[in-house]
Structure 1
Amino acid sequence: MSRLKLFSLDTGADFAGRVAAALGEPLARHEERCFADGEHKVRPLDDVEGADVFLVQSLYRDRCSSVDEKLLRCLFFIGALRDAGAARITAVIPYLCYGRKDRRTKLRDPLPTRYLASLFEAMGTQVVVTLDAHNQAAFENAFRCRTLHLLAEPLLLEFAIRRLASEQRSVVVLSPDEGGIKRVEKLRQALSERLGRPVTTAFVEKHRDGERLTGGTLVGEVRGAVVLIVDDLIASGTTLYRAGEAAQKAGAQSLLALASHGQFSADAYTNLAHLPLEVVAITNSLPQLDLPEHFQLLDCAPLLAEAIRRLHDSGPVSELTL
């Protein structure tokens, strides 16, 4: 492949810098300008003609810009890279927005996941890389270009092994809803093999009607156990809180939470403060400011750097998805 060029927008440059350091490549230069009328311009300053270009950018809301503004800048920048002659453009999006609305649940519902895919493809994206999409099948089916779905499971597994290596009590891996059962079962199998003893699973029944959650029945045995609540995303913290509360009422002795992404929107910290969580471990796919003391960050930058390296060198990259 041609020479590698690694870019990031200004918001997200800190994380992209970690990816660049792990990759051993510098971040390429770009320019972002905002105009008085609210419009903006973003362009590469380094020459990208004939280059293998990677744009590292999570899509999320922060204090400075909305998720839609980040998305539009990302798309416009991809268009500028294409027009400047990039040979291939790969969008590396650790946290992909609009991933939770992947099917119709009401009459005339939109399908933002599919619309998002169409936008990236229309601007010239040839490969899309993400970390633990909310629904892997929906993510892969939405895109017609090549996709790479990376897993945070190895990071969560290694963290769990370090915490539980000397643990004598029984261990249960708990899914906070039925949708995460496959994710939890895969982690359970790996955890049981590494610990050399049985690990069981459980899940909590959950029903959603708009923003309202119902259910809460725990299926499985957690009495006297160390319970690992595993999910792909902590947003408002309500789902995690309900799962932890159900496990606590069922007699769990210790609660730990593991998640791929930490969004922590609305009253998330307040909700989680009511649970006796020993630790909440998340990756740094989203920037985290002023985390509570018992929260821990797991660095996913080396994983993304390895994916970029293998894509640039033409593989093997598939093993990072299993």
Structure 2
Amino acid sequence: MPSQIWSPSAVGPVASRHLRLFALNGTADLGRDISRLLAHPLSAHEERDFEDGEHKVRPLDPVADADIYVIHSLHGGPDQSANDKLCRLLFFIGALKDAGARRVTAIAPYLCYARKDRRTKANDPVTTRYVAVLFEAIGCDAVVTLEVHNEAAFENAFRCRAVALTAAPLLIDAIKTAVGNEPLCVVSPDLGGGKRADLLREALETVLGRPVGKAFAEKHRSAGVVSGDLFVGDVADATCIIVDDLISTGGTLVRAARAARAHGARRILACVAYGLFMEGAETALADPAIDRIIATDAVPPFRLPAGPVRDKLDIVPAAPLLAEAIRRLHEDKPLTDLLVF
């Protein structure tokens, strides 16, 4: 972990020579936020839907010899499926390359199919790799995403440049306002997330200037059934920060929160890059074991209705991190302190 942690307040305007920013309709709000932070306008484009379900996307501004960044988060809903969004992004990248773009970078904060990065059963698809092949085949020069499920699998899947940003600086900024001087402990809800939890814990220690403990919960998943009762770590009287890449139904986080409470945790914050909030999440996350939930807006919480879970949800803007990554990529500056590593 670098000795200095990048802060979301540090983003500044970009040197605009040959730069073009596009935001497809499914991610227009995030695109406008990034545009504002970089003090650079979004370029115009057209999206047309046809009666048979096909579509067309084309740039309306000149793109020849430009360095282009296309912003499109590839989560399903509320109006398009993940497959629809992926197809639109790929076709648009192809159109940009055909129109003479010098370099095209896909900014996909949520990258669909990134969780299916290995075979867990005989003849399973390794869908992360297939998606990577599609980006490469269409001529994409780089893909930037946020808090991938497995960074090694993500990097190995791509032959073009693949950038996995860490959400840690965004989450830490929110954590700082939520905690005082009480003992802190970062908890991984499973062994596989240990590296992610350590990254956040080390960054927290740097920012807060004091030790932060660590713990993990055991989790086994087979045929959709989750089991495991082991909990390791001293969390007595501590505020526990359970960190994961995403919330789906919330069951994993609730299991870890209950285990931490059983071992004496005083308060529980759940921190994730993405809140998908699939069916069942509204019920599961209402569990009083979790006090607050912190998530970025890389996936807006459109599935979560007003109620007790929404009331304890804090949404953190992802735009500052993504804008900073675009600025550094365009200016050929290092990304080291923004990366999952």
Normalising by structure 1, what TM-score?
0.95
Tell me whether 1:283 sits opposite 2:303 in the alignment. no
Gaps of at least 5 residues in structure 2 are 1-15
Q: Does 1:122 align with 2:137?
A: yes
Alignment check: 8 A CA contact 1:257 1:281 kept: yes
Structure 2 CA distance for aligned equivalents of residues 111 and 186 of structure 1: 27
Q: Does 1:167 align with 2:144?
A: no
Q: CA RMSD in A?
A: 1.6
SS of 1:70's equivalent in the other structure is helix
Query: 1:158-197 alignment to 2 at 5 Å?
Result: 158-164=173-179, 166-168=180-182, 170-197=183-210
Give the deviation of 1:306 after TM superposition. 1.3
SS in 2 for 1:95: coil
- Structure 2 SS opposite 1:116: helix
**How many residues get paired?**
320
The one of 67, 77, 81 aligned to 1:66: 81
String of CA shifts for 1:90-140, please: whole Å, max 9, x gaps: 001111111111111111111001001000010110011111111111111
**1:208 is the counterpart of 2:226:** no
* Separation (CA, whole Å) in 1 of partners of 2:229 and 2:74: 31
Name whichever of 193-202 and 19-28 sits farther off: 193-202
Q: Cα offset for 1:2?
A: 5.5
Once the two structures are superposed, residues 235-257 of structure 1 have per-residue CA deviations (whole angstroms, 9 ceiling, x without a partner) of 11111111111112222111111
Structure 2: how far apart are the matches of 1:23 and 1:120? 26
Contact kept, 8 Å, 1:244 with 1:275, in 2: the verdict is no
Could you tell me whether the CA contact under 8 Å between 2:143 and 2:161 is conserved in 1? Answer: yes
Equivalent of 1:154, from 163, 166, 169? 169
Q: Does 1:56 find its partner at 2:74?
A: no
CA distance in 2, matches of 1:277, 1:242: 10
- Give the TM-score taking structure 2 as reference length: 0.90
The 1-side partners of 2:164 and 2:323 are apart by 14
| Counterpart pick for 2:319 among 285, 301, 318 | 301
**Residues 183 and 81 of structure 1, relative CA distance in 2, 3 Å threshold:** same
Instruction: Select 1:310's aligned residue among 316, 322, 328.
Output: 328
Question: Could you tell me which residue of structure 2 aligns to residue 94 of structure 1?
Answer: 109
> For the residues of structure 2 that align with 1:196 and 1:24, how far apart are their CA atoms?
34
Letter in 1 for 2:285: L
CA distance in 1, matches of 2:269, 2:325: 29
Deviation at 1:5, TM superposition (A): 0.8
Q: Alignment partner of 2:219: what SS? A: strand
